[in-house]
Amino acid sequence: MNNLLRFLVGVRVLLLFIILEIIALTLFTTNSYYQQSVVINKLHAVRGIVHEQVSELTQYLNLRETNTTLAIENTILHNELVHYRLERHATAGTVTGPAGTPLFNYIPATITDNSVNKQHNYIMLDVGAIHHVAPDMGVVTEYGVIGIVMAVTEHYAIVKSLLHTDWRCNVRLVQAGDFGPLQWDGVIYNEAVLHDIPQHSNVQLGDTVVTSGYSSIFPPNIPVGVVKSYEIKRGNFYEIRIRLFADFKKIRYVNVVSFLYRDEVKALNELRDEY
């Protein structure tokens, strides 16, 4: 009898362990977008407040560096403005929509939470639905692609970072002209891997990689990084290591990209999926 009781007590612990473990693993493996947006975002609204306080402090400590970055960004934008003014006639209709409204609009945002040391990194922004930020919008800086908006609350947005091993971004090699998916392999925070470039392609060290523009998420020709090394792996495709321009440890100010005909493209894609 005594032995039986002792056995039951032991099994009781094991049972609880198994039940809790099953709950945890179920939550882990069914981490769907829906769950993320419904459950976590409620909590993120609270978390956002805490992080904003911390962020405000560190922001102050980093003022000098931030100012330098802003100055550089200013210059780059000025240059680009001049460039576009010169090119206006040649490109009218491709970078602008009707009556000169730009096809891509930029919504400035500040990062309130960021990480680089996990396999699935996320970034939190201080803009949300009231700033017209919506899921599936791209996030960029002058140094390249940062990520894609996953879900939004009223005042905050969660961004799937480029440093997220499940996410791929379509990019193009400038000189070789080929395009393929860029994906982080979870190893070094400033390097990612470009796949599916065919063996006959003229890949060169130092070639620049830019966004391909084959989507309504990112505008074309945003610089992403340079070719650091390449090798042929598994058949006829190059595996190219890209050194990213963006320093994910230091980014603070980003732009959310909103595409003018976003709803139209989305509706069209949904139509395609129906057939």
Partner 1 sequence: MNINFLRLLFYFILLILLQDIVIDKLPLSTYIRPEIYTIFILLLPFNYPAIATLVWAFALGLGIDIFSADVIGLHTAALLVLAYVRPRLLRRVSPKDDMDSIAIPSYHNLGLRSFIIYTILSIALYNTVLFILDTFSFHNFLHLLIRILFSTLATTLFILLIQFAFISKRR
Residues that bind partner 1 (CB under 8 A): 12-14, 16-17, 20-21, 23-29, 31, 35, 39-40, 43, 47, 50, 54, 58, 115-120, 122, 158, 165, 185-189, 249
Contact between 76 and 83 (Cβ < 8 Å): no
CB of 89 to partner 1, least distance (A): 47
Contact between 260 and 217 (Cβ < 8 Å): no
CB of 257 to partner 1, least distance (A): 22
Which token pair is 233? 């792996």
CB of 50 to partner 1, least distance (A): 7
Name the phi and psi angles at 159, rounded to 5: -115, 130
Angle at CA 168, nearest 5°, toward 162 and 172?
95
CB of 202 to partner 1, least distance (A): 29
Q: 30 or 94, CB closer to partner 1?
A: 30
Q: What element of type H or E holds 239?
A: strand 237-244
Q: 194 or 222, CB closer to partner 1?
A: 194
Q: 94 or 117, CB closer to partner 1?
A: 117
CB of 21 to partner 1, least distance (A): 5
Place of tokens 């599936």: 136
| CA–CA separation, 161 and 186 (whole Å) | 12
Q: Which residues lie across from 113 on neighbouring strands?
A: 124
Q: 15 or 82, CB closer to partner 1?
A: 15
Q: 104 or 156, CB closer to partner 1?
A: 156
